[in-house]
Amino acid sequence: DAAAILPAPLDLSVHSINMKHILTWSPVIVPGKIVNYSVEYQGEYERYYTSSTWIPSSWCSSISTPECNVTDDITATVAYNFRVRATLGNQSSAWSTLKELFNRNSTILTSPRMKMSKDGYHLIVEFEDLGPYFEFNVTYWRKSPNSQVLYKIVREGGSLVHLETMEAGAEYCVKAQTIVEVIERSSAFNQVECVIAQDESPLL
């Protein structure tokens, strides 16, 4: 049987960081030949309601690299399964599936990269753009006795945000974490960063 000649891909697993989900597997090696792969997925719904049907992945219907960005396929917070098979000419291998189902609520959330800047006495912050699921919980304070800690939710990354109008010569500190509401989780806080406002400019 031709299908049995081509070995099935092995070691399927999903690597997920900041809601970007990459499916990888061990390549099928046929010396001198280019092996292609097809990826399909099913959510919990397909397993329980439609007798385990499978859906072709958005981006990986005949690819030659042993990895697939499945971020666009996983759009609900339920357990997903993936299967991959190899094809070479008219030969196709058996399907391989994940050893463990994948739920996006297990994604690794890194603490956000943050750029702080001053525009005169204005304290400005900018976060990396991590995509539509991400908000940023910003905590900031003036470094002085009994100063108040302030909070601000930044709804998206990739744009400058005014945090505070600083007092001359004062030091201000900031830290932040990401929030991903659809999975009801947040990242660790990043490193605290501080800046000192410029001194009062002398009267001319």
Partner 1 sequence: GLKRLHLGNCVLSMNYQEMRNEFLEIKGYVQAEDGNLDKRILKSSEALQDTKPTERCCFFRHLLRFYLDRVFKNYQTTNHHIRRKVSSLANSFLGIKKELRLCHDHMICHCGEEAKKKYTQILSHFEELDAQTAVVKALGELDILLRWIEKT
Least CB distance to partner 1 at residue 135 (A) = 7
Nearer to partner 1 (CB atom), residue 135 or residue 164 = 135
* Tokens, residue 56: 């072709």
CA angle 30, 55, 20 (to 5 degrees): 80
Non-local CB neighbours of 172 within 8 Å, separated by 6+ positions: 123, 140, 141, 142, 143, 163, 164, 166, 194, 195, 196, 197
What residues make contact with partner 1 under the rule CB under 8 A? 43-46, 48-50, 55-56, 58, 72-73, 75-78, 135, 181-182, 184
A 10 A CB-CB count for 27 gives 16
Q: How far is the CB of 182 from partner 1 (least distance, A)?
A: 4
3-state secondary structure string, 175-191?
EEEEEEHHHCEECCCCC
Q: How far is the CB of 38 from partner 1 (least distance, A)?
A: 12
- If the CB atoms of residues 106 and 144 are measured against partner 1, the closer one turns out to be 106
The residue (of 166 and 178) whose beta carbon lies closer to partner 1 is: 178
CB of 58 to partner 1, least distance (A): 6
